[in-house]
A and B are shown apart, each in its own frame.
Chain A
């Protein structure tokens, strides 16, 4: 009898699920908004419904499933299936595995979404074949999944990979975490928007004013990308600097880990060349040099599907 798995990527705004066969081939996919305001119970119920609908549409039942993988943006206790903390979902100590057991009998593996993205890129994407791989996810925050010696490296409590809070400047601006000069305060999505807004004050000619309808507060990283692509100098400068900051942060990580490859993904990485060019140049200039040392940087290959595919991979490995 053919057995299937389901992989789920639970995000702060939407949740995506994929049904796959025993080889990881995706047979059906479904995307829905995440009802964050309904609380943990509500979100998990919606998630259960999503699983049931996905099965029903393929004329399958829970008995056809061997396991389900679930990625959550936050700090996860993988052993106990707990979400310790998720700022995007406003969760603290949510017993995901407990909820699951009340509804389903098939096994569930819960993991951090970026760790799962790293697994997917290593298995099927830009990290294929690399034993020591850093997968960097650039979005609202900056996270990473570390694949060391072919395995996800989790550290002592499963929290390893939070490179967004590596200090790149001791006396820099304050971060959400309370520290000064974290990589995140320079190069995450909101930081890109903030730096653009600050620069706009002295540049009334910038295209960004028009794109934002004259309201500085409406500027997002996406809008800065759009403006840069349309030739706006301010926006181009912001991306140049963003690439430099990321290059500095990743130079530290690369010098510490000597990875075989660095794969950069997440929404902000969609900016493409205008981000990668200064990033690679800065990384090369600022990482430790020694004969034979190289730090290849590649854009992620799976895009927004990395989380779901990683959840599929985790379910297959259970």
Chain B
């Protein structure tokens, strides 16, 4: 793998140097602390190259030497480690009912955050202005090290090449919005835009439950239902960038009408929006209540709320089995508030899925809870920026 990576970069010495730096940084990120010799053997780089890079990284503040490791005879080697606070990153999670803006360190750990009100019903430009203001606040509140960039997780298909939000099924008015350019103009930082479930899948791979996993499906179970497909270690986007719309798999031949134009989609029976709407109908209310209230009610034992959530979980289980049987991933991760804030949800979905897996798939598919809690999309957004220094290959490969 390493050799293969090198091959594609031999054409350009600057790029090769960038790549070698990132190999060293990524090794330190994953291993904690390492000696120069360990770095050389892990990255496949020569001792001289490691020396040069380490010196440079220490000068820039990314790396520090940290006492001495175990000796294998002779002098004890100096251990090197990553300085998590050397640079900061801004992560933005645009959700249907709130926008979260956070500042994180190089390990994607949140240092401070602002939660903005729902973007629904607002013009995209107004939302971008609010986000830009929050970014300014967070960036200037503390004596902040340089900020590498802004990662944005968006709740709909996106064109990552141009940073455009293509559409958002649950957020009308966001068709073909040049989100990257609008935000970059205001915050004067590099901006990276990605679909929220895709971002979360990347976050799980680098910082969550799916480290080292090459074939992963992340399900974002929240107001809407999103899916992020990581196939062979890369996000699979499909022909027009709309792949992964798990919420619009058909689960009921004669189901209810869905916002997407179809009927019987998974979202009509198992999404947060469907749940709060059904509850409002049943209680004869005009306006559905907040999802958090429904989840609270279920946790407190409200029988109807429990029954509704359990039924949704069983539908998710059926969808998980279909996905596992069709795509044979190593792991399917459930995230989003339905999974995170109502604990029986995950167990019930997994219990429903397991017996439905085909025999040979059954023993090789992990169904896992998100390793990032409520912050999967936020960490995913941060990882969009962080991968530019830790795994620049993907970005270089995508450059126009």
Contact = CB atoms under 8 A, between A and B. Distances in A.
Interface stretch (B13-21, B196-204, B231-239, B300-308): B231-239
A291 B356 CA distance: 35
A265 to B, nearest CB: 18
Given A165-B358, A256-B246, A160 B318 contact: no
B242 A290 contact: yes
Contact of B325 (A158, A162, A286): A162
A156 B166 contact: no
B263 A288 contact: no
Interface stretch (A49-57, A200-208, A246-254, A271-279): A246-254
Contact of B239 (A157, A166, A256, A259): A259
B321 interface: yes
Nearest to A162: B325
B329 A167 contact: no
A256 B253 CA distance: 17
Contact of A155 (B241, B249, B328, B355): B328
Classify the secondary structure of A's interface with B.
loop
A148 interface: yes
B243 A257 contact: yes
Interface string B201-219: 0000000000000110000
B175 A259 contact: no
Contact of A258 (B241, B250, B264, B330): B241
A256 B225 CA distance: 12
Given A155-B215, A157-B328, A257-B238, A84 B360 contact: yes
Interface stretch (A65-73, A102-110, A168-176): A168-176
A249 B360 CA distance: 22
B358 A162 contact: yes
A156 B215 contact: yes
Interface string A144-164: 000011000111111111110
B238 A170 contact: no
B322 A258 contact: no
B253 A292 contact: no
A75 B325 CA distance: 12
Contact of A288 (B176, B260, B358): B260
B335 interface: no
B30 interface: no
B326 interface: yes
Interface residues of A, number: 49
B252 interface: yes
Contact of A132 (B239, B262, B264, B322): B239
Nearest to B213: A156
A258 B243 contact: yes
Given A258-B238, A289-B261, A172 B253 contact: yes
Nearest to B314: A170
Contacts of A291: 166-167, 175-176
Contacts of B251: 167-170
A289 B260 contact: yes
Nearest to A151: B232
A293 B175 CA distance: 13
A167 B322 contact: yes
A85 interface: yes
A156 B323 CA distance: 13
A102 to B, nearest CB: 26
B345 interface: no
Interface string A178-216: 110000000000000000000000000000000000000
Contact of A169 (B249, B252, B262): B252
Contact of A158 (B231, B239, B328, B359): B328
Contacts of A38: none
In this complex, the member of A148, A155, A260 whose beta carbon has the largest number of chain B beta carbons within 10 angstroms is: A155
B231 A248 contact: no
A243 B164 CA distance: 36
In this complex, the member of B240, B253, B260 whose beta carbon has the largest number of chain A beta carbons within 10 angstroms is: B253
B157 A286 contact: no
Contacts of A166: 249, 322, 325-326
A255 interface: yes
A70 B157 CA distance: 39
Contacts of A288: 242, 245, 248, 260-262
A312 to B, nearest CB: 25
Contacts of B261: 285, 288-289
A127 to B, nearest CB: 13
A87 to B, nearest CB: 11
A153 B231 contact: yes
Contacts of B157: 290
A170 B315 contact: yes
A160 B252 contact: no
Contacts of B263: 286
Interface string B126-158: 000000000000000000000000000000010
A78 interface: no
Given A132-B239, A259-B239, A286-B250, 4 more contacts: A156-B364, A256-B326, A257-B236, A292-B240
20 contacts: A75-B360, A84-B360, A85-B359, A153-B232, A155-B328, A156-B215, A157-B360, A166-B325, A172-B253, A248-B253, A252-B250, A255-B249, A256-B244, A256-B249, A258-B237, A258-B238, A285-B262, A286-B263, A287-B262, A291-B176
Top 8 nearest A-B pairs (CB, nearest first) are: A258-B238, A155-B328, A260-B239, A258-B243, A159-B328, A160-B328, A156-B330, A288-B248
Interface of A: 75, 84-85, 131-132, 148-149, 153-163, 165-170, 172, 177-179, 245, 248-249, 251-253, 255-260, 285-293
